[in-house]
Amino acid sequence: MKTAATRTQRAKATSTTNQAATKTAKAPAAAPLPELREALAEAYENIQLLDKAVVTAKQAEDDEVLRYKPLFDACSSGDEPKARALLATGLDVNWHNKEGVTPLHVAACDGHLNVVRMLLEQGAEVDAPLGEVQSKLGISFVGATPWLLAKANQKGPVAELLYSYGANPNATMGAGLSWREVADVFAKAGVVSMSVGQK
């Protein structure tokens, strides 16, 4: 009886040991602590580098906006000699901010014929489209060209000059609005003259 009982106990013990061994084999092996620490340190370093790259890119963008601000101010005020002098320093006549506003958009919208002519002579893209410009008028200015802005803003001579340089007279913006429809929005909102000057 004792022998039979002992065999039964041994069998149960062996079975229990085998089950434990099977569970241990199935459990994922933990990485050695030094390797884990090294991996975490590397991941943290990569995150720091990424953060630094984002900050650097934002700073570069801000610096570029500040560098072009005098040119946009000159185009908005109609100061053709100053705008010409600034371009002579190496500024790009077709540079645009994140909203797609170029010096030509500003000069055309504000009706400065001499500045518009000078920009076109310097190689400004006549039909450069706007991006998403913030507006309180409830319409989207996406796709607006210098010509469309000049026509909608009642700057006839500027629009004619742009047209002579190949501007598309069928240009639309936003949800397919023509210059007449945009001008109507301006009129209803009591906007005498709109500016898209750089912020």
Average pLDDT, the chain: 79
Q: Answer whether residue 54 is part of any domain.
A: yes
Whether 42 is covered by a domain: the verdict is: no
Per-residue pLDDT of 81-118, as tens digits, reads 999 999 999 999 999 998 899 999 999 999 999 999 99
186 pLDDT band, cuts 50/70/90, is: confident
CATH number assigned to the domain comprising residue 128: 1.25.40.20
52 pLDDT above the threshold of 70: no
65 assigned to some structural domain: yes
- Please report whether residue 33 resides in a domain: no
For the record, the structure tokens of 122 come out as 């310097």
Rounded to the nearest 10°, the torsion over CA 34, 40, 42, 45 is -140
Number of helical (H) and strand (E) elements in the chain, helices listed first: 8, 0
For 32, 56, 153, 178, the CA distances from 108, given in Å and listed in that order, are: 67, 33, 9, 17
pLDDT of residue 61: 62
On whether residue 38 sits in a domain, the answer given is no
Report d(CA 141, CA 132) in Å as an integer: 6
pTM of the model: 0.68
Write out the residue range of the structural domain in which residue 145 sits.
47-188
Rounded average pLDDT over 72-76 = 94
Total structural domains within the chain: 1
At 42, the amino acid letter reads E
How big is the chain, counted in residues?
A: 199
Tokens of 6: 């002992």
- Which residues share a beta bridge with 173? 177
Distance CA 176, CA 151 (A): 15
Q: Could you tell me if residue 27 is inside a domain?
A: no
Assess whether pLDDT exceeds 70 at residue 3: no
* Residue 16 pLDDT class (50, 70, 90 cuts): very low
Quote the pLDDT of residue 21.
46
Residue 185 has pLDDT above 90, yes or no: no
Alpha carbon distance 195, 198 (integer Å)? 9
Of 178 and 191, more confident: 178
As a whole-number percent, the residues of the chain with pLDDT over 90 amount to 49
Examine residue 163 and state whether it is found in any structural domain, yes or no: yes
**24 domain-assigned:** no
Mean pLDDT of 170-177: 91
CB of 72 closer than 8 Å to CB of 106: yes
